[in-house]
Amino acid sequence: MTVRIILTGGTFDKHYDALLGQLTFAQSHIAEILERCRLGAGVIVEPVLMLDSLDMQPEHRERVLASCLGAPESGIVVIHGTDTMQDTAAVLGPALHGSGKRVVLTGAMVPYEIRNSDALFNLGFAFAAASLAEPGVFVAMNGRLFDWDRARKNREAGVFEET
């Protein structure tokens, strides 16, 4: 089975720029991650956006939806920023209902390249969900799989929880 990974940016793919002293976007970490996880075979990577989810606009979410609709794969992982992940899920959920696709949004609270990042675990968990779950749209964070309309980010605790 092939799983498509759609890249949209988010904390997951941010780099620390020592000159500016801030997190920025450069090249995605996904090739290195797939090699580390030994997930290269059976994976299609589709870069769609590279931005912070707080900067996402409705037209960006429509691009993600178009990529999901146009994908021949039934298993799709969307790497997304955690701040507005549920907003994108709210666009994808109704639009993909009945499509037979398993679309799993995931991200990271800590960038991949920073020690103790949750990016690897979240991606692996999302990949498994996109391969094994029933069709639908889900959010996979912190070892939990939520229906698209039942997840929320608890900023104080730094985790996702069921609504």
pLDDT in tens, 73-121: 999 999 999 999 999 999 999 999 999 999 999 999 998 888 899 999 9
24 pLDDT higher than 90 = no
Domain count of the fold of the chain: 1
For the chain, the average pLDDT equals 93
CA distance 136 to 163: 18
Query: What are the residues whose beta carbons fall under 8 Å from the beta carbon of 60, sequence distance 6 or more?
Result: 8, 49, 51
**Token duo for residue 95:** 């639009």
- Return the number of other C-beta atoms located less than 10 Å from residue 11's C-beta: 23
- Residue 146 sits in a domain whose CATH number is 3.40.50.1170
Q: Where are the beta strands (DSSP E) in the chain?
A: 3-9, 14-17, 22-25, 43-51, 75-79, 102-106, 136-141, 144-147, 151-154, 159-162
Q: Which H or E element spans position 107?
A: none
Q: What is the dihedral of CA 95, 132, 47, 153, to 10 degrees?
A: 70
Does the pTM surpass 0.75? The reply is yes
CA-wise closest residue to 8 among 70, 77, 111, 71: 77
| Cα 158 → chain centroid | 17
21 pLDDT higher than 80 = no
- Return the number of other C-beta atoms located less than 10 Å from residue 71's C-beta: 18
Query: What are the residues whose beta carbons fall under 8 Å from the beta carbon of 65, sequence distance 6 or more?
Result: 91, 92, 95, 96
Q: What is the mean pLDDT of residues 121-129?
A: 96
- The range of the structural domain enclosing residue 150 comes to 3-13+22-162
Q: What is the mean pLDDT of residues 137-155?
A: 97
